[in-house]
Chain A
Amino acid sequence: MINRGNELKLQLANPGILERYIKTLSPWFCGAFISSLIIGLWFAIFNSPPDYLQGETVRIMYVHVPSAWMALFIYSSMAVASLIGLIYGHLVAFIYAKSVAPIGAVFTLICLVTGSLWGKPMWGTWWVWDARLTSMFILLFIYLGFIIVSKSFNDPVKGDKISSIFALIGFINIPIIKFSVDIWTTLHQPATISKLDTPSIHTDMLIPLLIMFTSFVFLFLYIFSIRFFSELNLRRYVTYTLSSK
């Protein structure tokens, strides 16, 4: 007798059933993304105070910070999925890791571009080779390396294994990004929200930031569901052509 929660978990591990779940959920992801984006942008542009030091440019933060969070979150989840895939040899974990990598790369790129646009008026330069910026740039390269490795194998089974190992090797960079502002003295400011005591950001700025983050999460889920379908269908096609030979 399997209990209810375990049954659901078993179902979600089956690619076909998971596909059905995601298919029903994906329009909701899209709707949630658009509505929270509109609310978040309204808060960020019209209904939040300008910073007393940085003035209106602080509004770049509402795109910059959530995309940086998403970039780190996606890579961490990718590494966890790769580990699960290597241990249990499960297809969904490999498909997850392979299909979210380009999304993470684009979020990293958005973070770098908006950061550089923010850096010009505030720091006076587009780019400095400082620890946080450099490690974020390395993250972009790790994403690109993962995409190249995962796409260049003809045999998907072999490619899954090898690209998962690559994802695990690249995970060293994530703690470096997180703690780079604490260890080295950098131009980039240290963490203000993810601290153990109360966040040192005002509530009027925190609310739009969190709404924007939610909308980015839903955007990620929506794009992931599309990519999940295409990747699954690709695997089906490969299996079909191999078995019909």
Chain B
Amino acid sequence: MRIYRLIFLRELRKVFSYKANYIFSLMFYSSIIFLISIGLQGQDSILTNVAPSLIWVSIILVLFLSFEDIFHDDYYDGTLDIYLIENITLYGFSLIKSISHWLANCLPMIIITPIIGIFVNLDSEIIIPMLITLIIGTPALSFIGCMGSSLILSLKIHGLIMPIIILPLFLPILVFGIGALDVLIFNGFEELFLRQLALLAGISGLSIVFCPIASAYIIKANYD
């Protein structure tokens, strides 16, 4: 168990120190939000209605770009080979990768969402439900994205392939995430909100359980 903790710490140190991925995702996130708000000429009435969708869509766009090199470096510099020799299970490895991806990319974006909400005129009563849907929904995005990242591991032409492959699996999360908020904004039904949230949590749970298994299998297929 100790070795997994060390790998986890190594991953965290890697993402939070010299590569500083989280800074780039935060910058890209806010720049998408700014572009769209300026593109809508800052009309408050439109922005209030579309703010939850805007935040969800920008987070997904940022994540699309962040999935590209999750396993890439470890695969090509031989770290993964060493792990395999040391009998570290690929399941545990991809679980660690997914969790550290969530901590490095999704969590900072969730933390600055209340501040971003000011710029898109997000209703102050929606901020807490918005954060709840993001916290429940984004793990699914990270885990599915890691699985997709292992799919394109040994391809030379990654980049724009990734979003196309992953897009269909992201759509349910987007639909239920925004659906929950829409129910709350336009109808005010707490019960329906909780029901959509339960569906979202179900998708998250399923992907947390099954995606590392699938991605371990896919990585193993690359070594055959």
Contact = CB atoms under 8 A, between A and B. Distances in A.
A152 B224 contact: no
Interface stretch (B32-40, B130-138, B159-167): B159-167
Given A152-B157, A153-B154, A158-B224, A165 B217 contact: yes
Contacts, number: 49
Nearest to A139: B168
Interface string B162-180: 0011011101000100000
Contact of B168 (A158, A161, A165, A173): A173
A145 B152 CA distance: 11
Nearest to A166: B151
Contact of A162 (B167, B169, B221): B221
A166 B165 contact: yes
A162 B167 CA distance: 18
Contact of A141 (B155, B164, B218, B222): B164
A158 B151 contact: no
Interface string B90-132: 0000000000000000000000000000000000000000000
B214 interface: yes
Contacts of A166: 151, 165
Contacts of A141: 164, 167-168
Interface residues of B, number: 20
Contact of B151 (A142, A144, A162): A162
A138 interface: yes
Most A Cβ at <10 Å: residue of B155, B164, B165, B167: B165
A149 B165 contact: yes
Nearest to A143: B168
Contacts of A145: 164-165, 167-168
A104 interface: no
Contacts of B221: 158, 161-162, 165
Interface in B176-224: 214, 217-218, 221-222, 224
A142 B218 contact: no
A166 to B, nearest CB: 6
Contacts of B169: 169
B155 to A, nearest CB: 5
A148 interface: yes
A153 B153 CA distance: 11
A230 interface: no
A165 B157 CA distance: 20
A170 interface: yes
Contacts of B154: 153, 158
Contacts of A170: 168
Contacts of B165: 145, 148-149, 166
Contacts of B168: 138-139, 141-142, 145, 170, 173
Interface string A132-170: 001000110110110011001100011001100110011
Contacts of B167: 141, 145
B218 A162 contact: yes
A138 B171 contact: yes
13 contacts: A138-B168, A148-B165, A149-B161, A152-B161, A153-B154, A161-B221, A162-B218, A162-B221, A162-B222, A165-B214, A165-B218, A166-B151, A169-B169
Interface of A: 134, 138-139, 141-142, 144-145, 148-149, 152-153, 157-158, 161-162, 165-166, 169-170, 173
Interface of B: 147, 151-152, 154-155, 157, 161, 164-165, 167-169, 171, 175, 214, 217-218, 221-222, 224
